[in-house]
Amino acid sequence: MEQKLEKFKQILAEVVDLNHASAVAGWDQQVYMPRGGAVDRGNILETLAAIAHKKFTSDEVGKLLEELKPYAETLEPDSDDACLIKRVAHDYDKETRVPSRWVADFARVTTLAQTAWEEAKTDNKFEVFQPHLEEVVKLRREYADFFKPYDHIYDPLLDDFEPGMKTVDVERIFNALRPQQVDLLKKIAAKPEIDDSFLHVPYSEQGQWDFGVEVITRFGFDWNRGRQDKSMHPFTTSFGVDDVRITTRFDPKRAASALFSTIHEGGHALYEQGISPTLRRTPLADGASMAVHESQSRMWENMVGRSKAFWKFFYPRLVEIFPQQLANVSMEQYYRGINKVEPSLIRVEADEATYNLHIMLRMELEIGLMEGKIQVKDLPEIWNSKMKEYLGIVPPDNREGVLQDVHWCGGAFGYFPTYALGNLVSAQIWEKLNQDIPNLEDQISQGKFDEMLGWLRSKIHRFGKKFESQDLVKRVTGSTITPEPYMRYLKTKYTEIYNL
């Protein structure tokens, strides 16, 4: 059986290598590739995706799985090998339902859609992106059909990013969360507005870059195993446990944008860099799910990066880099400014109190598209009306509206809900983290993050994708995903800031 297991692992390693090669090409597409290279890049990614899919869904892998499943039952349930066989069995069942031709078409269509989206966003022309998005939606509906019968057409898509989670589960969580967040927003809206004008003056791009690098270096980001570049939309990608890439972006109108995108993506990268080397070249060398992944980025971005303790240490350094912009701004003013609650157009710039509403809006649109109740051509108008309904504001153009996110051009329907779920998980983990490290706030105020990172590595990072999200969250916090800790966190934080 050992020989069969080794053969199984060797095939999986080759599939992982092919997927990492695709990731390299995808990273380059968003960072360095000239716009005219889209067709050629699409062909490359189409070929790599087809080869990887055929290799993974081969009869040989299926036969080995059938032979190894009984063997897995004899192993310790939490062992790397038992978890590998279980996880691959789940993924194999999904991928064998999907024809290789579809996989290749999807890779090609989304590559072309990426370039079309970048052009459409730059030029504020939704019509440039529309036909590509229509193709993507068509393919995602076809994908869902491979998994009939399902409880909901959105379920197979959601499962790609949050295995085991159903649409009804997410809707139940969101329905419990929405009224509490709306009530909090109403209380905040009744209070005097916070002045954050100092954030909307020019800050040098290089200064922003340097400060962000200093911050995530102190967090523990390993520059020998990672790097940062610029892209239109910040993202994190991994080519292996020892090669993790992040990107950031700069907005002249929003001085804090680059910093918080660097911290956010740095949180993702710390997770990837913390995965156990024993999982290298296996499908387990990844995050447990996108919600768990997002819990890490949002924790570092918000619970650390927007905390008063964080700025006690870092604010003097920020003033040193930007003495003119912050000459008359106290640390308390800065802290309140970066935590200002205000309905905003851009999801990635949204404050913590409104962010989840952006996610609920997108999930509603995605479900409408998958059910056929919404047509792509109507998206700009529906988007604007939903923004008015959810947040009381209307985008001035499609660039700041329906074209703002990169996800749809990549076909990542089912991804958005994991952002809000990640917020909830981050609060659950944060409560447990503070229980286990009672002086955590003092450590942060001294710029010390070793114990926090070590705790996360021990409890979460090292396991990679060995456990499903609900299982992992329960192991760490004692509960499956629930909104209560997140609302406790928001209410405590904003009661102090706004004197509620």
Residues 31 and 94 both lie in one domain = yes
pLDDT score of 254: 77
Report the C-alpha gap between 278 and 331 in whole angstroms. 44
Tokens of 371: 């059910």
pLDDT score of 164: 85
Residues 187 and 104 both lie in one domain = no
Residues 120 and 171 both lie in one domain = no
Write the CATH number for 203.
Answer: 1.10.1370.30
pLDDT score of 253: 75
Residues 104 and 191 both lie in one domain = no
Determine, yes or no, domain membership for 154. no
Determine, yes or no, domain membership for 176. yes
**Which band of pLDDT confidence, cut at 50, 70 and 90, is reported for residue 232?**
confident
Tokens of 220: 């523990």
pLDDT score of 123: 95
Instruction: State the sign of the Cα–Cα–Cα–Cα dihedral 16, 12, 161, 151.
Output: positive
Determine, yes or no, domain membership for 148. no
Determine, yes or no, domain membership for 131. no
Instruction: State the sign of the Cα–Cα–Cα–Cα dihedral 484, 487, 491, 497.
Output: positive
Residues 368 and 266 both lie in one domain = yes
Q: What is the pLDDT of residues 56-98, one digit of tens each?
A: 999 999 999 999 999 999 999 999 999 999 999 999 999 999 9
Q: What is the pLDDT of residues 356-411, one digit of tens each?
A: 999 999 999 999 999 999 999 999 999 999 999 889 899 999 999 999 999 999 99
265 catalytic? Reply is yes
Determine, yes or no, domain membership for 143. no
Report the C-alpha gap between 32 and 229 in whole angstroms. 9
Active-site residue among 265, 352, 364, 366? 265
Q: What 8-state DSSP symbol labels residue 199?
A: G
Residues 33 and 180 both lie in one domain = no
The last residue of one of the domains, among 124, 152, 184, is 124
How many domains does the chain contain in total? 2
Mean pLDDT of 254-277: 93
Contact 432, 476 (CB under 8 A): yes
Interacting residues of 80 by C-beta distance below 8 A, sequence separation 6+: 278, 279, 282, 284, 466
The last residue of one of the domains, among 124, 149, 182, is 124
Contact 199, 338 (CB under 8 A): yes
pLDDT score of 242: 97
Determine, yes or no, domain membership for 383. yes
Report the C-alpha gap between 463 and 483 in whole angstroms. 24
Determine, yes or no, domain membership for 178. yes
Residues 360 and 426 both lie in one domain = yes
Residues 73 and 7 both lie in one domain = yes
Q: Which residue range forms the structural domain that includes residue 112?
A: 2-124
Residues 323 and 399 both lie in one domain = yes
Is the pLDDT at 500 greater than 90, yes or no?
Answer: no
Determine, yes or no, domain membership for 134. no
Mean pLDDT of 232-252: 93
Contact 86, 71 (CB under 8 A): no
Residues 380 and 245 both lie in one domain = yes
Q: What is the pLDDT of residues 244-262, one digit of tens each?
A: 999 999 887 777 889 999 9
Q: What is the pLDDT of residues 139-186, one digit of tens each?
A: 999 999 999 999 999 999 999 999 889 999 999 999 999 899 989 998
The last residue of one of the domains, among 124, 157, 190, is 124
Q: What is the pLDDT of residues 399-412, one digit of tens each?
A: 999 999 999 999 99
Residues 102 and 211 both lie in one domain = no
Residue 34: count of CB within 10 angstroms of its CB: 8
Is the pLDDT at 201 greater than 80, yes or no?
Answer: yes
Residues 324 and 412 both lie in one domain = yes
Tokens of 35: 């716009």
Is the pLDDT at 1 greater than 90, yes or no?
Answer: no
Mean pLDDT of 9-15: 98
